[in-house]
Amino acid sequence: MSAPAAPSSTAAPVPAPAAPPVETMTVMVNGKTVQVPKTLPDWQGKPAPTTMLQAAKIAGVDIPHYCYHDKLPIAGNCRMCLVEFGTPMMGPDRKPVLNEDGTPKISRSVLPYEPGTPRGAIACATPISPGMEIYADSKATQQMRESVLESLLINHPLDCTICDQAGECKLQEYSVQHGKADSQFVETKVHKPKAVDLGPRIVLDDERCILCTRCIRFTRDIAGDDALGIVNRGSYNTISAFEPGKFDNNYTLNTVDLCPVGALTSKDFRFKMRVWFLKETKSLCTSCGTGCNITIGSREGVIHRYEPRENDAVNGPWMCDSGRLNYRWVGRADRLKQVLRTSADGTLQPISWNAAIESAALILTQAPQGSVAFVVSARQTNEELFLLKKLATHTGALTDAVPREGEPDRLLVSEDRNPNSNGVRLIGMAFTEFGFNLTKIAEGIAQGRIKTLVVFGEDVTQVGIGPELLTKLDALIVSDILPNATTAAASLLLPGAAHAEKRGTFVNIKGRLQKFQKAVEAPGEARPEWEFLHELVHSLTGHNGYRTIEGLFNQMATEVPAFAGLQWAQVGDTGVTVQI
Amino acid sequence: MPEPFKLILKNLDEPGFTPDIGCYQRHGGYEALKRALAMPARDLPDGKKLSPQEALREDVKASGLRGRGGAGFSAGLKWSFVDRRSGKPIYLICNADESEPGTFKDRQILHKDPHQLIEGMILSCWANDVKLAYIYIRGEMPVAAKLLNQALKEARAAGFLGKNILGTGYDLEIHVHRGAGAYICGEETGLIESLEGKRAYPRIKPPYFPAVLGLYMCPTIVNNVETLCHVKHIVLMGPTEYAKLGTPNNTGTRIVSLSGDVQKPGYYEIQVGRVTLGELIFDPNFGGGLKPGRTLKAIIPGGSSSKVLKAGEVFKLNRKGADGQMTKVDVSLLDLPYDFDSLQQAGTMSGSSAVIVLDDSRSMVQTLGNLSEFYAHESCGQCTPCREGALWLSKATHRLCNGEGRKADADYLTHIAQNIQGRTICAFGEAAAWPVLSFVKKFRDEFEAQGAADEAAQAKSPGTSSPKSSDPHSAAGSLQTH
């Protein structure tokens, strides 16, 4: 993965070895003197000479740009970041020439063949030098920006009204800041291909494209797929896929995020929703153990898209297509929405949550020690697993989780397709190898030793505990989100919430503990599992005090050694690293 | 009376001179190579020793040789920038992508005297510890590519190339790489990208200076065909004698490609600065004058991208007086010495030394239409100002050419061109902008008259055509085929 894996903070901060003092350089940005490091990480995280753009950022000045992206190789092609600058004048003795007041004399950059005209340098690729002055707001800089923007707009279709990028478009944004109200362009525009089917998930509008090549660089240098390129020449330059329609690697949708304009759009999202109506919620992808940070875009309880949220300790700014598009199930019509219990006649009947909790508490209280088993899911949050562990300990139950594996890739997709396997391990619901106890549980049921089975978020019929075994049980307490063979056999069914419908934490495959927030409401009677599990634990053990997710997490941190010392608030938006 | 001076062109147009190695050697070919490779280390006054390779590098610097490709940069200085401590191999590339409109000098060498180039290259490679070199040749010169490959084969067979050259232990291989027909491949970093098998997008500088991060991210020297040929003559003549050719700071000879409205268009080798623009056009040894009954209108002095000079212009030039003091002297267009510095002081450049002469039969509007169409076609499209600006300029000039101009178009063209120059990745931005800026500045009356006439015609019969109706490019679609 390209993103440096260095965590920004750790759970138990080890005193870092005294870092060598950072070598700095003094430059001036818009009249303000700043000390900046001589080198900063480049797109691969290797130290590289600090650029004017980075120095300006440190000084709190944002220099507009299209092609530059801190996680992609520098192209320098859009020219939007051109800035006027000056450097200390050197005398023939190679010493700085001073003004009368003793300050160094600055020579402003000018065109070598036209000394009256300022010459800009691209801030994204030009290294700073000692004493350099960057004029990010000067008249000349503004004029350069205006002219670049004018060039970008003359052949642009200006179809913002029907463009999916509207509202999050850098062309619009910079037009507000640097554009002109009317155009002096009186020629015919260049016409290029529209609605090009680049691949299964991507549509390209070449007329909107500003040819910044972010998509090409990402696909070639990050995804490792030389699938995109430019054909034709000059103003007729056109982004194209090597094989039309075959731009199909598992990272193509990142190019839609990277595209600063509306050229690349997602087939899944295009024409679905104006982006300014979307509520943004910080969350995590649950499709594998990497735990990519995401932003959920939802409106009125409906999820419309996932986008990667930058976290250099985990996913950088990227995520895979399969994870990104794995959200539809949250809104499926057949979601479990009712609390159900088997009635005397054997049919499932709706009951209240209170009755269900009472019923579950009764079953677990009456069950003899050793007659209960728990099969939990590594898709459950730490907080839920922590409460389930309390129940399991109280009943002396055998516990396990269900492994879920797939083919890994070289970028983000993990072999472990559960989002919280390490949470399961750290809380002690399963051993390093999941599934070790599943056989024992199956044997226990077959031999009549185990009479009560608690299943959270898994279909145990798929892992060796078939429907015929389930009929041998006295009680089958099941919580899940979608119906399956296990939920069908439940004697008590507790509808749970998808991650997007609740708050909680996961620990990823590298030991990054990360939290996620609630984007939408759970349907019907479905509730976040930690809420009703807390009630059940309270009924069973009398333990209380976890009415909020914050309180529950902080309590868990005092009891689970790996989380020792952590506070919910301290976890932040990008998580902390714990010992795994 | 000024005369051509044949140094590079000495043999190639002689009757019976053929491009094969036998003929070349009968004319003294590869003697410079033999001499250089047999040179001992050179003792310096301070007791230090210069290796023979270092000595040749110093000689090239001392000769004052300036690049003959267009920029006129000191060849010796360029060589001195090469990063020799990186531990990476050093490459040398001969830029034989001659494609600046009006320029046809390198092709003479490539077609008629390929061994002269190869000898110059071997010497330059040896001087710079280069083991692998390339000749990047314009795609439109298939015959020359064939001849070069044949010449390389002959040189290899004769022991001038390959392993252990002339028994000295020095190894060198040279490959010919053909371009695919794009002007931008002549830009040295675009050329390097193309040679690497990529689209010829010029690289950003910093950080990709060829002397440090060139071909395959290794130190690389890129020199023009003619420049490399001169190295052979510097070896033969010695730097001091060579520097006596031409004028101070503008040493040696240059091949001028003379075209346009003259009696005798062609290529003429001159001592740099010893012949004036007027002599190039009017002297019987060169252009032989204008066509009968015509008067001079303008000169494009250094390839189509150089700024145009107007007949009758007078320039202020720095001249060193007898007392050694610099004084400003008025020099008229026809008295301009044809060299690097005088043309630069006249606000233009000698570029690729292609002189295009325009007489009074030429419309400057139509001429600019031709030039700007070329630059719109050849813009690689990598960076915004040139990609969008070059075609914009072409469309605007074509409106003027097609009777759809406006009086305001003179300012309009200037505005567009000013937003290109100095803002692009490579010098193509200047190449596209300079013709426009200079044409409009110096022949503004012609552009305004054309625009005013078009507006008057429009006013008489409004609605017959709108300014937007002409797009010479999109209609034909010809540009999209490359």
Q: What is the pLDDT of residues A506-563, one digit of tens each?
A: 999 999 999 999 999 999 999 999 999 999 999 998 887 678 999 999 999 999 999 9
Copy the structure tokens of residue B403. Answer: 């009777």
pLDDT at A542: 86
The answer, yes or no, to whether residue B254 has pLDDT greater than 50, is yes
The answer, yes or no, to whether residue A10 has pLDDT greater than 80, is no
Flag whether B57 is in a domain.
yes
Dihedral sign, Cα of residue A154, residue A160, residue A162, residue A167: positive
Q: What angle, 0 to 180 degrees and rounded to 10, lies between the N-to-C axes of helices B444-460 and B428-442?
A: 80
The answer, yes or no, to whether residue B467 has pLDDT greater than 80, is no
Flag whether B342 is in a domain.
yes
Is there a single domain that holds both residue B299 and residue B261?
A: yes
CA distances for B387 relative to A151, B391, B396, angstroms: 8, 7, 15
Q: For residue A154, what is the nearest residue in chain B, using CA coordinates? A: B388
Flag whether B1 is in a domain.
no
Min Cα separation A137/chain B (Å): 17
Flag whether B11 is in a domain.
no
Q: What is the mean pLDDT of residues A249-256?
A: 98
Q: Give the 3-state secondary structure of residue B15.
A: coil
pLDDT at B475: 41
Q: Say if residues A419 and A402 touch (Cβ distance below 8 Å).
A: no
Report the residue of A65, A72, A147 to disrupt the B interface, i.e. the one with the largest count of B CBs within 10 Å.
A147
Candidate from A112-126, A175-189, A318-332, B339-353 with smallest mean pLDDT: A175-189
CA distances for A331 relative to A196, A267, A282, A496, B221, angstroms: 30, 19, 18, 13, 62
- The DSSP symbol for A222 reads I
Is there a single domain that holds both residue B415 and residue B377?
A: yes
Distance between CA atoms of residues B211 and B217, nearest Å: 10
CA dihedral A199, A201, A206, A208 (to 10 degrees): -170
Is there a single domain that holds both residue B193 and residue B226?
A: yes
Q: Give the 3-state secondary structure of residue A138.
A: coil
The answer, yes or no, to whether residue B476 has pLDDT greater than 80, is no
Min Cα separation B383/chain A (Å): 4
* Residues in chain A whose Cβ is within 8 Å of chain B: 74-80, 82, 111, 113-114, 117, 119-120, 122, 125-127, 144, 147-148, 150-152, 154-155, 184-188, 190-191, 210-211, 229-230, 232-237
Is B390 part of the contact surface with chain A (CB cutoff 8 Å)? yes
Min Cα separation A260/chain B (Å): 15
Give the CATH number of domain A24-153: 3.10.20.740
The answer, yes or no, to whether residue A5 has pLDDT greater than 50, is no
Distance between CA atoms of residues A490 and A392, nearest Å: 19
Of B396, B412, B479, the CB nearest to A236: B479
Cα A176 to chain center, whole Å? 29
Which residues in chain A have their CB less than 8 angstroms from residue B396's CB?
187
Q: For residue A144, what is the nearest residue in chain B, using CA coordinates? A: B419
- Inter-chain CB proximity A152 and B396 less than 8 Å: no
pLDDT at A4: 44
Residue numbers of the domain that contains B320: 248-359
CA distances for B291 relative to B295, B355, B367, B368, angstroms: 8, 16, 18, 21
On average, the pLDDT of chain B sits at 94
Which residues in chain A have their CB less than 8 angstroms from residue B480's CB?
232, 236
pLDDT at A490: 97
Q: Which residue has the tokens 């700085």?
A: A96
Is there a single domain that holds both residue B446 and residue B299?
A: no
Report the residue of B384, B458, B469, B470 to disrupt the A interface, i.e. the one with the largest count of A CBs within 10 Å.
B384
Which residues in chain B have their CB less than 8 angstroms from residue A82's CB?
423
pLDDT digits 0-9 by tens, A21-39: 789 999 999 999 999 999 9
Is there a single domain that holds both residue B208 and residue B76?
A: yes
Distance between CA atoms of residues B181 and B160, nearest Å: 31
Count of structural domains, chain B: 3
CATH architecture of A340-577: 3-Layer(aba) Sandwich (3.40)
Is there a single domain that holds both residue B33 and residue B179?
A: yes
Give the CATH number of domain A155-331: 3.30.70.20
Candidate from A96-100, A273-277, A574-578, B148-152 with smallest mean pLDDT: A96-100
Q: For residue B306, what is the nearest residue in chain A, using CA coordinates? A: A113
Q: What is the mean pLDDT of residues A147-154?
A: 96
CB-count burial class (<10 Å; 0-12, 13-18, 19+) for A121: buried
pLDDT at B473: 53
pLDDT digits 0-9 by tens, A207-231: 999 999 999 999 999 999 999 999 9
Size of interface A-B (CB pairs under 8 A): 124
Q: What angle, 0 to 180 degrees and rounded to 10, lies between the N-to-C axes of helices B384-401 and A139-154?
A: 70
Backbone angles phi, psi at B386, to 5 degrees: -75, -45
**H helix and E strand count, chain A:** 15, 28
pLDDT at B417: 97
Q: Which residue has the tokens 């915004």?
A: B384
Is there a single domain that holds both residue B352 and residue B378?
A: no
Candidate from A289-293, A441-445, A540-544, B231-235 with smallest mean pLDDT: A540-544
Distance between CA atoms of residues B414 and B372, nearest Å: 13
In 3D space, the residue among A258, A267, A259 whose CA is nearest the CA of residue A305 turns out to be A267
Q: Give the 3-state secondary structure of residue A48.
A: strand
Q: For residue A140, what is the nearest residue in chain B, using CA coordinates? A: B419
pLDDT at A545: 65
Is there a single domain that holds both residue B179 and residue B76?
A: yes
Distance between CA atoms of residues B214 and B82, nearest Å: 10
CB B263: neighbour CB atoms within 10 A?
14
pLDDT at A6: 44
- Inter-chain CB proximity A237 and B387 less than 8 Å: yes
pLDDT at A94: 86
Backbone angles phi, psi at A307, to 5 degrees: -130, 145
Q: With residue A229 as reference, give the H or E element that holds it.
A: strand A228-231
pLDDT at A507: 98
pLDDT at B265: 98
Q: Give the 3-state secondary structure of residue B271.
A: strand
Dihedral sign, Cα of residue A58, residue A64, residue A65, residue A71: positive
Backbone angles phi, psi at A437, to 5 degrees: -90, -10
Q: What is the mean pLDDT of residues B192-205?
A: 97
**Position B464 confidence tier, pLDDT thresholds 50, 70, 90:** low
pLDDT digits 0-9 by tens, B66-83: 999 989 999 999 999 999
Dihedral sign, Cα of residue A559, residue A561, residue A566, residue A568: negative
Domain boundaries, chain A: 24-153, 155-331, 340-577
pLDDT digits 0-9 by tens, B401-419: 999 999 999 999 999 999 9
Q: What is the mean pLDDT of residues B393-406?
A: 96
Min Cα separation A522/chain B (Å): 49
**Position B385 confidence tier, pLDDT thresholds 50, 70, 90:** very high
Min Cα separation A118/chain B (Å): 9
Q: What is the mean pLDDT of residues A289-315?
A: 97
Q: Which of B244, B268, B289 is the last residue of a domain?
A: B244
Distance between CA atoms of residues A378 and B49, nearest Å: 74
Q: Say if residues B123 and B115 touch (Cβ distance below 8 Å).
A: no
Distance between CA atoms of residues B390 and B376, nearest Å: 5
Is there a single domain that holds both residue B171 and residue B48?
A: yes
Is the bond leading into A157 cis (omega within 30 degrees of zero)? no
pLDDT digits 0-9 by tens, B101-139: 999 999 999 999 999 999 999 999 999 999 999 999 999
Distance between CA atoms of residues B417 and B441, nearest Å: 12
Q: What is the mean pLDDT of residues B375-397?
A: 97
- Kindly state the percentage of chain B with pLDDT values over 70: 95
pLDDT at A7: 43
Dihedral sign, Cα of residue A366, residue A372, residue A376, residue A382: positive
pLDDT at A17: 64
Q: What is the mean pLDDT of residues B432-437?
A: 97
Spell out where A170-269 has E strands: 196-199, 202-204, 228-231, 238-241, 264-266
- Inter-chain CB proximity B479 and A232 less than 8 Å: yes
ipTM above 0.90, yes or no: yes
Is the bond leading into A7 cis (omega within 30 degrees of zero)? no
Distance between CA atoms of residues B477 and A233, nearest Å: 12
Copy the structure tokens of residue A576. Answer: 């902390």
Is there a single domain that holds both residue B395 and residue B298?
A: no
